[in-house]
Structure 1
Amino acid sequence: MNTLLTGGNGFLGTWLARALAARGDTVACLLRPSSDASGLAGISYSRVEGDVTDTASLERAVPGRDVVFHLAGIRRAATRDEFMRVNAEGTRNVCEALLRAGGKARLVLCGSLAASGPSSAGHPHVEEDPFHPAEWYGESKAEAERIVLAYADRLPVTVIRPPRILGPGDHENLTFFKLIKKGIRLEIGGGPRPLTLVDVEDVVDLLLVLAERPEALGQSFFCGGPQDFTMEQLQDIGARELGVHPRTVKLSPWMLKGLAAAADMVTQATGRKLPLNRKLARQLLAPAWTCSGAKAERLLGFRPKRDLEDSIRRSARWYREQGWL
């Protein structure tokens, strides 16, 4: 299989590139000239310089591919327009480049649970639920998915919607491990607040299924298992793996919001990005971030198989070994 990855140097992209190369597939990664590709070291791949906002580079990168995995996007930006320009319109650019190349290559878009927004406790999101994103990033991912599925009559397209992903190399959950390493365990009042978590290798496995199965075409799929966790449980498992006995710091919702507002003020004044911000506070205070993987199991026979407690332990060990903690 001749594949192109956008965002191939990111956390998920490096794991996918490694899996594709191990199978003997041809792997090309669309990377900006300034991109850090150190995570791809040791993986057999070719580098194609470009960007999803640069249509000329897509014209060069797309022809001859069997599958394009579109993982590229931004998670942080100062304005809604910037999220839309990269995450939504960049997706449209990929679709248009595929059409001009003949419309034969399959497009697998990496969407996000953020497009659906928070769920309610006891009622995980299913794919048929309407989008209710809670912030600009989620809005842009929802629009990207709408764009892709609007091309379903002209292109073979499919979408994966991962929840919070765990595994070695992840930056999104690193803050909580850093706090644990410092002896602090956060507990936010008003909980528990369930989370659907998934191991990065399970996400890769479903991406590979979506690249090949005809039943996946024109469809979107959550990637989630039967067991939900809370952020407190994640911290407890990480603490045991790191051999730390942290003290619990209890925060009320209003205290968390106040600290997040103060952190944003520091960031604006100094340019220094702190681990806490208003966006993270809103995520932590949502009643739940859960989704059901039943559709992927029903239509594709896919079910995540990694033990999530082991995923948390693997992450903690990797952070420690790499000196991130």
Structure 2
Amino acid sequence: SSQAALGWSADAGLVREDALCAPSTAYGRSKRDAERALLDAAGPMRVVILRPPTVYGPGERRNFLALARPAATGLFPVPGRGDNRMSFCHLDNLVDAAVFALRAPGARGVLHVADAHPVTLREAVDTIAHAAGRRPIPVPFPLPVTRLAARACERLLRSPPLSRARLHTLTSDCALDVGALARLGFRWPVRFEG
């Protein structure tokens, strides 16, 4: 599944698996509907649904790169204060969690799979810039200005680098609580810093 099944509530904080799903996109609604269908049809069968956020690592060519490319230059436009928490998931953490969930008899229902600790937008930008050998220079942009820029990009560009939906995910304080996975005994092979 995906964190999109939850939706990105502006100030949700650390979100558990049993939180109300309120997806704001067709993609998110399709994930939520698939989760419900699987759980409803499960009967006595053990069903585990993994719900990751944005995945990064070898071969990732889409969502995370939209954040990583500008951050790797060192200069990154930070909408708002950049202190909102967000979750990411390294591909190795996702693969290991999938294998773990298959083998762990206590694993059932929805499990959030993300890196062990959420990071703020500013921490994410700093980490990416350092990994690229750059000194991070975040460029703060007031949210109202950034919202206008996102709206203009959507109207003027066929493939906008900034949209209102992307801005919402970049500025929402909405991170996944991975406590249930930890209580089952999962150990993360990769930290966000490397």
Distance apart, 1:143 and its partner CA? 0.9
Tell me if 1:184 matches 2:68. no
Number of residue pairs the alignment of both structures matches: 193
Q: CA RMSD in A?
A: 2.3
> Quick one: distance in 2 between partners of 1:194 and 1:246?
18
1:179 partner letter? P
Residue 294 of structure 1: aligned partner: 179
* Secondary structure at the counterpart of residue 106 of structure 2: helix
* Secondary structure at the counterpart of residue 14 of structure 2: coil
> Quick one: distance in 1 between partners of 2:163 and 2:82?
20
Residue 143 of structure 1: aligned partner: 33
Distance apart, 1:159 and its partner CA? 0.3
Distance apart, 1:182 and its partner CA? 4.3
> Quick one: distance in 1 between partners of 2:86 and 2:164?
19
> Quick one: distance in 2 between partners of 1:307 and 1:190?
24
2:8 partner letter? P
Match of 2:166 among 239, 258, 280: 280
Tell me if 1:307 matches 2:191. yes
2:16 partner letter? V
Maintained 8 Å contact 1:145/1:159: yes
Maintained 8 Å contact 1:159/1:221: yes
> Quick one: distance in 2 between partners of 1:234 and 1:191?
9
State the Cα deviation string for residues 87-120 of structure 1 (Å, max 9, x = none). Answer: xxxxxxxxxxxxxxxxxxxxxxxx1122122357
Maintained 8 Å contact 1:162/1:198: yes
Maintained 8 Å contact 1:119/1:290: no
* Secondary structure at the counterpart of residue 186 of structure 2: coil
Maintained 8 Å contact 2:112/2:176: yes
> Quick one: distance in 2 between partners of 1:142 and 1:280?
19
Structure with more contact order per residue of length (Cα contacts < 8 Å, sep ≥ 6): 2
Residue 133 of structure 1: aligned partner: 23
Residue 113 of structure 1: aligned partner: 3
TM-score with structure 1 setting the length: 0.54
Distance apart, 1:226 and its partner CA? 4.2
1:176 partner letter? L
Residue 236 of structure 1: aligned partner: 126
> Quick one: distance in 2 between partners of 1:243 and 1:215?
42
Tell me if 1:196 matches 2:81. no
Call closer, same or farther: CA 1:154–1:235 in 2, change over 3 Å: same
1:284 partner letter? L
Gaps of 5+ in 2: none
> Quick one: distance in 2 between partners of 1:144 and 1:261?
31
1:274 partner letter? P
* Secondary structure at the counterpart of residue 76 of structure 2: strand
Maintained 8 Å contact 2:82/2:122: no
Call closer, same or farther: CA 1:175–1:233 in 2, change over 3 Å: same
TM-score with structure 2 setting the length: 0.87
Residue 64 of structure 1: aligned partner: none
Maintained 8 Å contact 2:115/2:190: no
* Secondary structure at the counterpart of residue 139 of structure 2: strand
Maintained 8 Å contact 2:115/2:191: no
1:200 partner letter? L
